[in-house]
């Protein structure tokens, strides 16, 4: 039984249960009249899954109708349907399923548990000789990480997603039993294209029309045979639908957490509000960083954060907020007039010089978390890297957070996308999430990050991390990475090792087993599963890193010349990578039409 993530306990009965025959349902879904919205969503999900094979939708009612009764949530308890046979684990989001010929019961420890039971049963439904069937089984299941999800950066790609794209994404995540979705709403990077800084703001601030990030992309249209320009604001910003995304996610048991970065990764606010910007030694406002001695800095930031909380979070009952805090370092490429100039984000004004950057940052963390807590935010996430690098993650900081009344609200997100894998200290006394990467640079060669995801989650679980969300820019071609993340976020104790996961995944995607299922992925992995190979040898062929800040060069001149010289004989590597990918492509193509999801095979074909 190929279910992702794999349930903790499945006992198949060997019985085949028929849910529809000749396009007519032979089952009905039973739901209490006052069922929780998530239980109703569970019933809708199953009705859709059964009708997906070309038949009618089974009815949903408070009493059993024709054929096999499928009881969901409270109705299973009331009907006494098989309760006691398979106890539901006593923890959030757990569930039990009993599927027998005379009835099916899906019972959660809470409404999300019943929703996840339906997500499991949905994957068990299949077509067999004109009938829609599933294999009888008793299942008990629960999540090993309390919080599981993706963090989607404000970046190229997400900035062009419309409301329906976000809804589709949320349905996909819910299918993998993710319950958390971080969304970047403000973050900035260095000068890259057209001599402009790379700034993204995904929500409008009505009182601050100066805060917006219009873009113009120049691209060559192969279809039209000429260069085109696309000028736009992010649809999420222009149509102001972030609140609708938060509400839709909630209807799928997913909590959306906005991510507002700073005091690194911020250039839009300092350049539009020079009064709060970090000052140079000569007293001039810098395009990057904040003056943390100026009360106006806090006033402006808190005004913006409050606006996000009041408009989008509190109305939806969300008490999560990410305040960034990564990579507060000297940076080139932030001054558009002089991109080669290194700019220090630490202010040099007379007041700031009274304190060290570490003292200023500690004060910032305390003030900011206290303010967010006063606005009802009970879960405040911050990146670990800067605090860890400067030795600030110590008992002293924990004591200060305790004194400020926020220690139990602060969560450190431990991230690293390279080796060696980051190990979370288990004795720090702060809540922790582990953050691997499941794919980000969709504009470069695709990349398998399973060798980053698998150890991060295994070690994070051992260290007692309560959650995991992976940092990404969403692309359906990263499906195996997302599925791997879902697998080990949900099931650390009985899902098997990474090799077993890859084998199960190959069987699911290819709709077959053995050589024909595994061979395309084996050849794919020879090229795309190596972080060192993809991240350097392959990606250097493409323009991206050649346009990035200090490394700016004229593309593709230098790459072509280097290839022609071939002093390191790397051409041989490229030829061999091509040979592997051609073989993978041929195997994917051969099974494309018979695969369970041809669209997913198309993603793999494209990347090959
Ligand atoms: Zn200052």
Distance of CA 519 from the midpoint of ligand 1 (Å): 59
Asked which of 23-27, 299-303, 540-544 is least confident by mean pLDDT, the reply is 540-544
More confident residue, 558 or 293: 293
Reported as type and span, the H/E element at residue 584 is helix 571-591
**Is residue 81 very low, low, confident or very high in pLDDT (cuts 50, 70, 90)?**
low
pLDDT band at 555 (very low <50, low <70, confident <90, very high): low
Residue 115, CB-side half-sphere exposure with 13 Å CA sphere = 25
pLDDT at 272 (0 to 100): 98
* pLDDT level of residue 552 (50, 70, 90 thresholds): low
| Cα(590)–Cα(608) distance, integer angstroms | 14
The distance between the two most distant Cα atoms of the chain, rounded to a whole number of Å, is 81
342 CA to centre of ligand 1 in angstroms? 18
Residue 329 CA to ligand 1 center (angstroms) comes to: 16
Contact by Cβ (8 Å): 93, 116? yes
SS3 548: coil
Pairing of strands 255-260, 180-191: parallel
pLDDT digits (tens, 9 = 90+) for 306-346: 999 999 999 999 999 999 999 999 999 999 999 889 999 99
Query: In whole angstroms, what is the distance from residue 161 CA to residue 37 CA?
Result: 27
* pLDDT, tens digit (0-9, with 9 covering 90-100), for 211-250: 999 999 999 999 999 999 999 999 999 999 999 999 999 9
User: Kind of pairing, strands 103-108 and 95-100?
Assistant: antiparallel
Q: What is the CA radius of gyration of the chain?
A: 26
| pLDDT surpassing 70 at residue 554 | no
Q: For 461-495, what is each residue's pLDDT tens digit?
A: 999 999 999 999 999 999 999 999 999 999 999 99
CA of 283 to the centre of ligand 1 (A): 9
Residue 62 has pLDDT above 80, yes or no: yes
C-alpha of residue 186 to centroid of ligand 1, in Å? 22
Give me ligand 1 centre to Cα 351, in Å.
6
Ligand 1 midpoint to CA 364 (Å) = 13
Residue 467: Cβ within 10 Å count = 22
Q: What is the mean pLDDT of residues 158-174?
A: 98
Ligand 1 centre to CA of 277 (Å) is 8
User: Before 285, cis peptide (omega within 30)?
Assistant: no
> What is the pLDDT, as a whole number, of residue 84?
64
pLDDT of residue 550: 59
Cβ-in-10-Å burial (0-12, 13-18, 19+) of 205 comes to middle
- At residue 264's C-alpha, the angle toward residues 259 and 267, to 5°, is 90
Q: Which two tokens stand for residue 199?
A: 């700034």
Give the pLDDT mean for 372-385: 98
274 Cα–ligand 1 center, Å:
11
The structure's pTM equals 0.96
Instruction: Dump the DSSP string for 497-531.
Output: -HHHHHHHHHHHHHTS-THHHHHHHHHHHHHHT-H
**pLDDT averaged over every residue in the chain:** 95
Q: What is the pLDDT of residue 549?
A: 67
Q: What is the pLDDT of residues 291-313, one digit of tens each?
A: 999 999 999 999 999 999 999 99
Cα separations in angstroms, 539 against 423, 436, 446, 491 = 28, 20, 9, 33
Weakest-pLDDT range from 242-251, 253-262, 266-275, 565-574: 565-574
- Going by C-alpha positions, the residue among 452, 586, 588 that lies closest to residue 517 is 588
Q: How far is the CA of 290 from the centre of ligand 1 (A)?
A: 7
How far apart CA 368 and CA 366 sit, in angstroms, is 6
User: Alpha carbon 530 to chain centroid distance?
Assistant: 21
Decide: helix, strand or coil at residue 133.
strand
Backbone angles phi, psi at 418, to 5 degrees: -135, 175
What CA–CA distance (Å, rounded) separates 472 from 151? 6
In the reported structure, the alpha carbon of residue 568 is separated from the centroid of ligand 1 by a whole-number distance in angstroms of 49
Q: Cα of 265 to ligand 1 centre, how many Å?
A: 17
Task: Report the separation in Å between the CA atom of 282 and the middle of ligand 1, taken as the mean of its atom positions.
Answer: 12
What's phi and psi for 67, nearest 5 deg?
Answer: 65, -145
**Direct distance between the N- and C-terminal alpha carbons of the chain, in angstroms, rounded to an integer:** 29
CA of 505 to the centre of ligand 1 (A): 53
Expressed in angstroms and rounded, the spacing between residue 297 Cα and the centre of ligand 1 is 10
**Long-range contact list for 293-296, CB < 8 A, 24+ apart?**
293/347, 293/349, 293/351, 293/352, 293/354, 293/355, 293/360, 294/349, 294/351
CB 108 within 8 A of CB 114: yes
Give residue 401 CA to ligand 1 midpoint distance, Å.
24
Cα-to-centroid distance, 347 and ligand 1 (Å): 5
Q: What is the pLDDT of residue 557?
A: 65
The residue among 244 and 191 whose pLDDT is bigger is 244
CA of 348 relative to ligand 1 center, distance in Å: 6
151-203+237-266+295-331+356-493 CATH, one of 3.30.70.20, 3.90.226.10, 3.20.20.80, 1.20.5.510: 3.20.20.80
Peptide bond into 5 cis (omega under 30): yes
The confidence score (pLDDT) of residue 24 equals: 95
- Phi, then psi, of 444 in degrees rounded to 5: -110, -165
Average pLDDT over residues 199-215: 98
Residue 271 CA to residue 269 CA, distance in Å, equals 6
E runs forming strands in 367-509: 379-383, 410-415, 431-435, 467-472
- Alpha carbons 289 and 292: distance in angstroms, whole number: 9
Output the CA 383–ligand 1 centroid distance in Å: 23
Instruction: Please say whether the beta carbons of 511 and 594 come within 8 A.
Output: yes
Residue 496, both tokens = 């098997």
Give 305 Cα–ligand 1 centroid separation in angstroms.
21
Ligand 1 centroid – CA 430 distance (Å): 30
| DSSP per-residue letters across 282-326 | TSPEEEEEE-TT-HHHHHHHHHHHHHHIIIIIGGGT--EEE----
Q: How far is the CA of 367 from the centre of ligand 1 (A)?
A: 16
What is the domain partition of the chain in residue ranges? 9-141, 151-203+237-266+295-331+356-493, 516-607
**Ligand 1 geometric centre to CA of 281 (Å):** 10
- DSSP states of 100-128 as a string? ETTEEEEEESSHHHHHHHHHHHHHH-EEE
CATH of 9-141, one of 3.40.50.620, 3.30.379.10, 3.40.50.300, 3.50.50.60: 3.30.379.10
Instruction: Please classify residue 434 by burial: count the beta carbons closer than 10 Å to its beta carbon, then call 0-12 exposed, 13-18 middle and 19+ buried.
Output: buried
Residues 6 or more apart whose CB falls under 8 angstroms from that of 228 comprise: 218, 219, 220, 221
């Amino acid at each position: 039984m190929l279910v992702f993530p794999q349930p903790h306990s499945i006992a198949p009965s060997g019985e085949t249960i028929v849910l529809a025959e000749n396009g007519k349902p032979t089952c009905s879904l039973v739901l209490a009249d006052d069922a929780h919205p998530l239980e109703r969503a569970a019933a809708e999900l199953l009705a859709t899954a059964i009708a997906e094979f070309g038949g009618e939708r089974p009815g949903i009612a408070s009493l059993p109708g024709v054929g096999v009764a499928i009881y969901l949530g409270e109705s299973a308890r009331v009907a006494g349907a098989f309760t006691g046979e398979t106890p539901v684990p006593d923890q959030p989001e757990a569930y039990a399923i009993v599927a027998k010929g005379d009835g099916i019961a899906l019972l959660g420890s809470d409404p999300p548990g019943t929703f996840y039971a339906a997500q499991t049963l949905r994957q068990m439904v299949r077509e067999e000789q004109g009938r829609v069937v599933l294999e009888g089984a008793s299942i008990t299941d629960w999540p090993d990480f309390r919080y599981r999800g993706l963090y989607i950066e404000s970046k190229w790609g997400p900035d062009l997603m419309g409301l329906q794209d976000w809804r589709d994404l949320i349905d996909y995540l819910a299918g993998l039993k993710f319950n958390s979705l971080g969304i970047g709403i403000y973050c900035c990077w260095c000068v890259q294209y057209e001599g402009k800084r790379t700034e993204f703001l995904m929500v409008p601030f009505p009182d601050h029309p100066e805060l917006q990030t219009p873009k113009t992309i120049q691209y060559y249209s192969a279809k039209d045979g000429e260069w085109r320009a696309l000028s736009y604001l992010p649809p999420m910003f222009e149509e102001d639908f972030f609140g609708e995304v938060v509400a839709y996610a909630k209807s799928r048991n997913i909590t959306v957490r906005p991510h507002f970065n700073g005091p690194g990764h911020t250039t839009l606010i300092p350049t539009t509000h020079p009064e709060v910007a970090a000052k140079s030694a000569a007293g001039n406002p810098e395009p990057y960083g904040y003056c943390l001695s100026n009360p106006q800095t806090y006033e402006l930031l808190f005004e913006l954060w409050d606006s996000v909380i009041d408009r989008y979070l509190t109305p939806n009952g969300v008490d999560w907020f990410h305040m960034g805090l990564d990579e507060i370092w000297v940076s080139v490429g932030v001054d558009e007039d002089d991109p080669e100039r290194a700019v220090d984000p630490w202010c040099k004004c007379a007041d700031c010089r009274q304190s060290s950057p570490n003292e200023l940052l500690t004060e910032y963390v305390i003030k900011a978390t206290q303010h967010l807590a006063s606005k009802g935010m009970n879960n405040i996430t911050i990146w670990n890297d800067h605090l860890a690098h400067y030795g600030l993650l110590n008992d002293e900081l924990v004591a200060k957070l305790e004194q400020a009344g926020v220690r139990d609200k602060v969560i450190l997100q431990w991230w690293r996308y390279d080796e060696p894998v980051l190990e979370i200290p288990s004795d720090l006394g702060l809540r922790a999430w582990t953050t691997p990467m499941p794919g980000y640079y969709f504009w470069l060669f695709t990349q398998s990050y399973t060798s980053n995801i698998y150890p991060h989650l295994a070690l994070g679980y051992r260290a007692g991390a309560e959650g995991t969300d992976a940092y990404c820019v969403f692309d359906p071609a990263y499906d195996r990475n997302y599925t791997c993340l879902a697998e080990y976020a949900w099931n650390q104790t009985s899902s098997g090792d990474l090799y077993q996961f890859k084998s199960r995944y190959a069987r699911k995607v290819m709709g077959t087993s053995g050589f024909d299922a595994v061979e395309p992925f084996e050849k794919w992995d020879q090229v795309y599963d190596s972080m060192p190979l993809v991240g350097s040898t392959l990606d250097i062929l493409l323009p991206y890193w050649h346009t990035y800040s200090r490394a700016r060069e004229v593309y593709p001149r230098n790459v072509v010349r280097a290839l022609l010289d071939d002093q390191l004989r790397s051409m041989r590597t490229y030829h061999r990578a091509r040979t592997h990918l051609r073989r993978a492509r041929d195997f994917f193509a051969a099974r494309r039409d018979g695969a369970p999801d041809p669209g997913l095979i198309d993603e793999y074909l494209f990347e090959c």
